[in-house]
Amino acid sequence: MQPDISARPLRVTVWNEGRHEKEDEPVAKRYPEGIHGAVAAGIEENLGAAAVVRTATLDEPEHGLTEAVLKDTDVLTWWGHKAHGAVDDAIVERVAQRVLEGMGLVVLHSGHFSKIFRRLLGTTCSLRWRSEHDRELVWTINPSHPIAAGVPSPIIIPEQEMYGEFFDIPTPDELVFISSFSGGEVFRSGCCYTRGRGRIFYFRPGHETHPTYHHPDVRRVIANAVAWAGCTSPTQS
């Protein structure tokens, strides 16, 4: 219902570390197009013509995040896990500057420990975790927030890695979701921030050993988050 103040589609870049898919056969089978492929497909199926999606991965030159690519990106999504340290500091700083200028950033799951997330938030971003077979329930606590649109409360994810509090992050500007796990742990799993002129959303679900990025509700939330994070760009110029 918000008036469409720009006819231009949102330019989205889906970034993925992309190492598990190369080195771990079950992951490769679960995500034959890579985790980035699944994330990109989820955004496309939900936003349709309102978004143009490309992907980039760690092992491309400049990790696929050249000045030109970032300049042409309204929202960047970020998935990384075991190779956070391999991301070049200069490129982290380049991404950080673009966020502060107004580019949206959607950080997924183990991206909580990425250099870019910690650079922008300033805290350790540490948490409890357990890689067993927990069931995750994702509860909406802000039902009119646009990122929660169209998903049930709770979203039920049958098997997941557990993340638990204390999650060492700044108090979110808006908290949208809280998860619980089979062990009784809780986690702030949908967190909105504005930093500089850019919007940041952290969304917890998703692990390379589970088919989370094929889950329709998870895909819907990521697409909603991309739309939300991209909402500010027209005011930048």
- Using a 10 angstrom Cβ sphere, with 0-12 exposed, 13-18 middle and 19 or more buried, the burial of residue 218 is buried
Q: Rounded to an integer, what distance in angstroms lies between the CA atom of residue 199 and that of residue 125?
A: 18
Residue ranges in 148-187 that form contacts with its own copies under rule CB under 8 A: 148-150, 153-154, 164-168, 170-171, 173-175, 178-180, 182, 184-186
Tokens of 226: 């991309």
Residue ranges in 14-73 that form contacts with its own copies under rule CB under 8 A: 47-48, 50-51
Tell me the window of 27-35, 57-65, 76-84, 142-150 that interacts with its own copies (CB under 8 A): 142-150
User: Is the separation of the CB atoms in 156 and 179 below 8 Å?
Assistant: no
In the complex, the smallest distance separating the C-beta of residue 67 from its own copies, rounded to whole angstroms, is 19
Q: Which is nearer to its own copies, 2 or 85 (CB)?
A: 2
Tokens of 27: 């992951």
**Residue 237 found at the interface with its own copies (CB under 8 A):** no
Q: Rounded to an integer, what distance in angstroms lies between the CA atom of residue 198 and that of residue 236?
A: 10
**Residue 188 found at the interface with its own copies (CB under 8 A):** yes
Chain mean position to CA 175: 15
Site string for its own copies, 97-136 (x = CB under 8 A): ---x-x----------------xxxxxx----------x-
